[in-house]
Amino acid sequence: MSRTADMTAEKVLQDNQRTRRKERTVMIVLVVLLAGVVLVSFTVGRYGVPLGQLFEILWHRISGQGVAEANKEADLVLFVIRMPRVLLTVMVGAALSASGAAFQGLFKNPMVSPDILGVSSASGAGAALAILLGFASIFVNLTAFLFGVGAVLLVMFLAKAIGRGSGNILVMVLSGVVVSSLFKALTSLAKYVADADNKLPEITFWLMGSFAKSGSVRNVLIMLIALVVGAVPLLLTRRRMNIMSFGDDEAKAMGINVPRMRTMIVACATLLTAISVCLCGSIEWVGLIMPHVTRLIVGPNYRILLPASMLGGAIFMVVVDNFCRVIIPGELPVGVVTSLIGAPLFIYLLFRGRRDWS
């Protein structure tokens, strides 16, 4: 009996070691891929920068030497225009994926998206209203953020009122659907009354999502702060998120304050989604697809799922943005391309997952 127990313990230890090796391999591959696509993104665009020239400029910057006269224009493009945009793209992809993974764990459903509580639709309505009233760019972003946060507060209030304080997840989701529909109607109303020659195109372009006008140092700093405030608490509570996935009763039995944990997850995921939407417009499907794809690779353990989803989302967003910049002489909105990729991929994942539901 003792020998059988020893063999079982040894097998469990070996399985854990294999799992850890697989996780390390996946993380290394994702980090290398992210570094590669970021490097490529510095070279592509309407102003092409060959890799040799890129490395030469980076070396001069690192060593403190002056930039050669022949490289001054490329240096300006790289560090003033392209680098802030690429950094913002990386952080938005990571933020949306982290938000999606957190919401999917909270609602115990891998088909949940970050805008389930009406964040995206409310932010879009706020931005449309601000553009309609002629607000400056910074106030458009601020209004979009406030509307997004306000939508979540409204959803939580309705869930508490309707559920009589129980905080029922289903009531919260249904409240999110209602609030999202309300703000979509407000967006449609703003588009209907907007000037067709001036305000309407601007509202429409913003709602489609793009990094064309959002790649600035200010936006990079705002997004970095949002990642620190929103993503770091999620990363630090990954083990508790695993326990939460077993249900409220099991989590309470293991000493977790379920209402406080749920509020923290909602607040952090909402912040990440709202900031991303208010800076870059509505970019759909990233927060739904990337955590789901990552889950198929690394499994449901949030200890590895959450950071892997963030890396995968960053890679996906950078690749899509590069495609949008080079496919036509102008530029395609990122939200259009993510929808074109995400919808068919989601259908494929649904067909693939049928055997798990039968």
pLDDT 10s digits, 128-184: 999 998 888 888 888 888 898 888 888 888 888 887 655 567 777 788 888 889 999
Residues 264-269 have a mean pLDDT of 90
| Residue 354 banded pLDDT, cuts 50, 70, 90 | low
Residues 233-262 have a mean pLDDT of 85
Please write down the long-range contacts of 137-146, taking CB distance under 8 Å and 24 or more positions apart. Answer: 137/213, 140/206, 141/278, 141/279, 142/278, 144/274, 144/277, 144/278, 145/274, 145/275, 145/278
Highest average pLDDT, of 89-93, 243-247, 295-299, comes from 89-93
pLDDT reported for residue 98:
94
pLDDT reported for residue 149:
86
pLDDT reported for residue 119:
86
Q: Which domains does the chain carry? A: 41-69+86-349 (1.10.3470.10)
- For residue 281, give both structure tokens: 């417009």
Q: How many CB atoms lie within 10 A of CB 196?
A: 8
| Residue 356 banded pLDDT, cuts 50, 70, 90 | very low
CB 285, CB 342: distance < 8 Å? yes
Residues 246-266 have a mean pLDDT of 84
User: Is the pTM for the entire model greater than 0.85?
Assistant: yes
* pLDDT greater than 90 at residue 228: yes
Residues 6+ apart with CB under 8 A from 85: 211, 214, 215, 321
User: Which region among 45-49, 192-196, 207-211 has the lowest average model confidence (pLDDT)?
Assistant: 45-49
User: Which region among 158-167, 218-227, 272-281, 338-347 has the lowest average model confidence (pLDDT)?
Assistant: 158-167
| Residue 358 banded pLDDT, cuts 50, 70, 90 | very low
* pLDDT greater than 90 at residue 319: yes
Name residue 172's amino acid: M
